Amino acid sequence: MSVWALGINHNTAPLDLRGRFAFALDQIQPTLNGYRQSLARQPEAALLSTCNRTELYGAGDQAAVDPTLDWLAQTGGVSSHVLRDHAYVLRDDQAARHAFRVASGLDSMVLGEAQILGQMKDAVRAANDAGALGTTLHQLFQRSFAVAKEVRGSTEIGAHSISMTAAAVRLASQLFEDLRDIKVLFVGAGEMIELAATHFAARTPKSMAIANRTLERGEKLASRFGAEVMRLADVPDRLHEFDAIISCTASTLPIIGLGAVERAVRKRRHRPMFMVDLAVPRDIEPEVKALSDVYLYTVDDLAAVVQTGKDSRQAAVAQAEAIIDAGVLSFMHWMEQRDPAHGVVPLIQQINAQADEWRSVELARARRLLARGEPVEAVLEALSRGLTQKMLHGTLAELHTGDSAARAATAQTVSRLFLRDEPSRSPRDAQP
């Protein structure tokens, strides 16, 4: 049994390539089913997909890693060679370390950000619902969550961290003299848009509007901020009304095209437009960035802004890495115990099975004696004697076999196992 992590992230792959491997939460279960059915021997599997990363975690035969990469490449519509150039494959302790660092926010574009932990928990639930989460990955992720909790509780890794949405507000402040004079449009109604709306609302812009494919969800979010709600289909015609546009939907294709933005710029008489595309794949066509008077930022463009304060958190990073190191050692010890070639779990299972068999035999014998009318005390005596003889037979036989050195080594082991001193009893223990 081996564990591995195969994926791409903001450090290894450009935005457009990451967009090919973006999966919405409701797509994870059928995607995992398709992946596992593509292999002759189905491994445990979990799929994590965010704007910054897509990662497949697996547990099983290591030979499944290469077919997994080929399957993922085919799913994203690229060659295996292209994906291999941007992907990382981590095995065993390195895979565990990576999972723990991701959960703790150490591998994020925003150092210490907490959103990734919730996204990992969602991914684990989806894998469990798909029947793809076995004992090994369950342990890996539960330990990841425990490590992340300790990191956040014991260090200041999240202190002074700037989120993507806060960075967007900061950039808008650099473009517009006063955010109270601007009109803001939010496209989408998911978690990222909710965060963005919260940050912009704190700066009391002139007006806010939310456009969403589902009006009901848009209205629910708009009511929190006193914002207008509009249909997604109306965005192209009304784009010119807004100074700032923040978009993050689950659309697989851009929903704001170059032509719509060009028309909006003309109607605005070249007053500047601030646009932030937080979606992966993109919501706004990349060609928009070349337009005069349009300032378009993607998640990758915000990277430099969110690094502010990173140096001051390096001490917390060192503390977090130490916690993660301990977690990795603990997980690998658990893995080794389960390995038939190195671990003690199979031996423990065999000992328990043998003890159960002896117990069953002696219980059956005792029941027969009771059925024949034998005295209860005599039956209990025979039961205890029979169990004792069975449990000590192998030990006593070993003490009488082999050369003197072997007998001496056996005698030491037997003394340690059977003749260890009883712990002293406290007065409380002695009470009935």
Q: What is the DSSP string of 303-349?
A: HHHHTTTSGGGHHHHHHHHHHHHHHHHHHHHHHHHH-TTT-SHHHHH
Beta-bridged to residue 90, according to DSSP, are 5
Alpha carbon of 324 to those of 5, 54, 87, 311, 329: distances in Å?
17, 22, 23, 20, 9
Rg (CA), the chain: 31
User: What is each CA distance from 53 to 69, 223, 228, 289, 389, in whole angstroms?
Assistant: 15, 32, 33, 23, 61
d(CA 161, CA 155) in angstroms, rounded, equals 13
Q: Which of 298, 188, 280, 294 is nearest to 244 (CA)?
A: 294
Among candidate residues 5, 45, 51, 184, the one labeled active-site is: 51
Rounded to an integer, what distance in angstroms lies between the CA atom of residue 116 and that of residue 95?
A: 17
If we measure between CA atoms, which residue out of 271, 219, 209, 210 comes closest to residue 240? Answer: 271
Rounded to an integer, what distance in angstroms lies between the CA atom of residue 173 and that of residue 180? 10
Four-residue CA torsion sign, 99, 104, 110, 113: positive
- Tell which residue, 131, 54, 50, 146, has the closest CA to residue 96: 146
Strands 294-298, 273-277: pairing kind: parallel
Q: What are the residues whose beta carbons fall under 8 Å from the beta carbon of 320, sequence distance 6 or more? A: 104, 106, 151, 155, 157
Q: Kind of pairing, strands 183-187 and 207-212?
A: parallel
- Is 248 catalytic? The answer is no
Active site residues: 51
